[in-house]
Amino acid sequence: MAGIHDIEVVVFDVLGTLIDEESGFRAEVQAMADASAAADAEDLLALWLRRRESEERRVRRGDRAYAGTEVIDAEAARQVAERAGVDDPAAVERLATAGRRLPPYGDSAAGLERIARRYPVLALSNASSTALTWLNAHAGLRWHQTLSGETVSAYKPAPEVYRLAADAAGRPPERMLMVAAHAWDLRGARASGMRTAYVRRPSGDPPAESDVFDGQFGSLDELADALTAA
């Protein structure tokens, strides 16, 4: 990976990069589908994802005042429950808080631990601060600091979210490496002056041919090998 000899801080996206967000939500939605003979789990999952993505997009466009992921997840849960014909408040609440219990990818905890022995590591996520607190404990992830776009009332790839990481670390963005499985996230980080590393994940957003990132890796282990050897 070119130029990582002067990297001082590593910043990680969380959802979809270290956390298997899609599989986790699929399991939670499946539980609701199991309670409804008329509901199909994949249809409910698609509805859930569409609602979350559309509302976050509305916030980014300025069509909606900022609402954190806890609010948007609760809205999505109510819509999914209505579609499934489920009116049990406990079931709706469980789905609304599913973002606190998502599983990590198999290499996440160990890879993050390796990197954290050498570099300060920061989480930079669109997830709310509350969700991140519970999610990190559930997944066993080690951070030196967790940062949420909630702090600046914005969602990545808004530039103020990446500035939040630079301000927290007290380092210039060109000395910071943003790691994500989403090319759109890395484009935002690159536009803010950060170095960038793509890690391939099943539900990530792969780079386009025109993307120029500082490194592309097939797993977190490969990234950790490159960083610890630098």
pLDDT at 38: 64
Collapsed DSSP state (helix, strand, coil) of residue 89:
helix
* DSSP alpha helix (H) spans, the chain: 21-34, 41-61, 69-84, 89-96, 108-116, 129-139, 159-169, 183-191, 220-229
Could you tell me the domains of the chain? 4-20+102-229 (3.40.50.1000), 21-100 (1.10.150)
- 52's tokens: 């979350």
Going by C-alpha positions, the residue among 102, 82, 114 that lies closest to residue 10 is 114
pLDDT in tens, the chain (230 residues): 455 678 999 999 999 999 999 899 989 888 887 777 667 888 888 999 999 999 999 999 999 999 999 999 999 999 999 988 888 999 999 999 999 999 999 999 999 999 999 999 999 999 999 999 999 999 999 899 999 999 999 999 999 999 999 999 999 999 999 999 999 999 999 999 999 999 999 989 999 999 999 999 999 999 999 998 87
Q: What is the DSSP letter of 20?
A: -
pLDDT for position 34 = 78
